[in-house]
A and B are shown apart, each in its own frame.
Chain A
């Protein structure tokens, strides 16, 4: 399937996303071109309003671009209809949000299993309980499985959310400021976890404002006004971004 010998997991070309606010057109993404290959760990940085979240939402198939091409695993997804996009989100994407987004009435375990509900009926949806347990053990929340979110600390909540993102073995893990609501020590724990996941070849894209967080990534993308201003490998990164 691969075109031009290109083995990128994600290939974005001239991606635009324009919001119409009254008479004004806001160019949240302005001709963005980006490649992410399997096993990459990318941090997206940039000032507020630069289009980081917009990019992540499109990469996560939650939103569709106004123009441009988005190929995910060599499939053009920019013009897919909602049902197919939902299926892609369910199978290939794992989301982690700043505010966790756990369902308060479900236990941690039920929250983790939530994506499995949306598998098709004819498919084998029996969940490998051992895998869930393994994930939760790895994230250090195995003993909290029957707890409700309000009985968990912020760090634990984010770990439950990460477990939920990982339960479907996604090709791409997307995290929008995952440590934004956590103190620095807890943040460090979460980031170590991301490092471990990436060491197991999990592709990760993370949006962040924090330098310490971006330091964990292999590659850093800097955005400004809807454009990618700079793309550098971690080791080439200047000590301080301007």
Chain B
């Protein structure tokens, strides 16, 4: 192996220089040869950038939902079957949450969420907004990684006395109080006036939802204490108490086992009715990876085909070069080049072509990735690794497809080669 490298590294500069002058002389031909390479490498780079971007984004989303959280959604149907279900099940409720927390030692905390139906825009003395209103347990914010940028959060006491307080998401605050200074001001939700005690910091999640689960959107939301939402806002007879239940599982506990146990309790408490749905954010990550993997395989195939086509293009052009330069090869042999020297010269040339292709391909890949980002809003992230991979793949292809023409060149009979013009 070291001999192999010594063979290449020996006095590289003049050979590389010579290779470059040949390639420059046939500029257009070289470029056309390189296209396959460029697309192949471009696809690899773009693919790696998009899947890495997706991964980072997914992790951010999962963190937004809480890696150790389980989320139970109320799935009460909207049609006539609801009446039947309600005979057996009262729907997702605070009592469910308490039962789970009491019987399952691995539950760290929980938070109930009720999405309050709003029949009109929210009003403040300064403006209005169509933000969603969520009534949430005081623990909700900490579980979801939300922090106030101004003011404070609710505490248990506020919840217990149905305090008419509100916390505003960043966007909601800007709409309701365009002139700022929201703290201490009042907002009207349906017929209820609530006092703003805090504004939440924006987490800047790019997506609204991930694998079908709502994640972002908290910025354009108004939060009130759960009990305020339950006791002071009207609720239909048939509606379940909670729209969502977030349960934080102790770090030592396996998430799927916990999800199964909780599912079992809820199933019993709901009389076997299918009116809830459990989401394990950590599992969504696996789903997301699966989707990414399919995408990656498709891109790899495209890249692979491109690279093989590119390699064949290079081989083709090198064979043409060998033919064109027969008399030159003859001369090199006459002044003392061994067969291996000729092989080396041509392999250096193919490698220079391939590295040029890799370089342009990397640029193409970056452009493609940003293009994808621009049109589909998929996140992209570049890594040094992907560039290293691209260069290595190219060099390998070059050597692989360059060997045959180089050998052909070295096997030419020097006398015959010298005579050809």
A binds B: yes
Candidates A86, A99, A103, A121; contact of B336 at CB < 8 Å: A86
CB-nearest residue of chain B to A86: B338
B418 near A89 (CB under 8 angstroms)?
A: no
A86 to B418, CA, bound (A): 15
A103 neighbours in B (Cβ, 8 Å):
328, 331
Known: A105-B18, A105-B22, A106-B18. A118 touches B337 (CB 8 A): yes
A118 near B22 (CB under 8 angstroms)?
A: no
In the complex, A91 has a CB within 8 A of chain B:
yes
A97 to B335, CA, bound (A): 12
B413 neighbours in A (Cβ, 8 Å):
63
Give B399-421 interface residues, CB cut-off 8 Å to A. 413-415, 418, 421
Give A98-145 interface residues, CB cut-off 8 Å to B. 99, 101, 103, 105-106, 110, 114-115, 117-118, 121
A164 to B334, CA, bound (A): 11
Which secondary structure characterizes the binding site on chain B?
helix
CB-nearest residue of chain A to B337: A118
B341 neighbours in A (Cβ, 8 Å):
86, 117-118
Question: Contact size class for A?
Answer: 20 to 34
B2 CB, nearest partner CB in chain A, Å: 13
In the complex, A152 has a CB within 8 A of chain B:
no
A173 CB, nearest partner CB in chain B, Å: 13
B10 near A121 (CB under 8 angstroms)?
A: yes
A117 neighbours in B (Cβ, 8 Å):
11, 14, 337, 341
A112 CB, nearest partner CB in chain B, Å: 10
B21 neighbours in A (Cβ, 8 Å):
105
A86 to B414, CA, bound (A): 11
In the complex, A83 has a CB within 8 A of chain B:
yes
Chain A residues proximal to chain B, CB less than 8 Å: 57, 60, 62-63, 82-83, 86-87, 89-91, 95, 97, 99, 101, 103, 105-106, 110, 114-115, 117-118, 121, 164, 168
A-B CB proximity, top 3 nearest: A90-B336, A115-B335, A118-B336
Known: A83-B340, A101-B331. 6 other contacts (CB 8 A): A57-B415, A89-B335, A101-B328, A105-B21, A118-B337, A121-B6
A-B CB contact pairs (8 Å), 27 listed: A62-B333, A62-B334, A62-B414, A63-B413, A63-B414, A83-B338, A83-B339, A86-B337, A86-B338, A87-B336, A89-B333, A89-B334, A90-B335, A90-B336, A91-B336, A95-B334, A99-B421, A101-B331, A101-B334, A105-B18, A105-B22, A110-B14, A117-B14, A118-B337, A118-B338, A121-B6, A168-B336
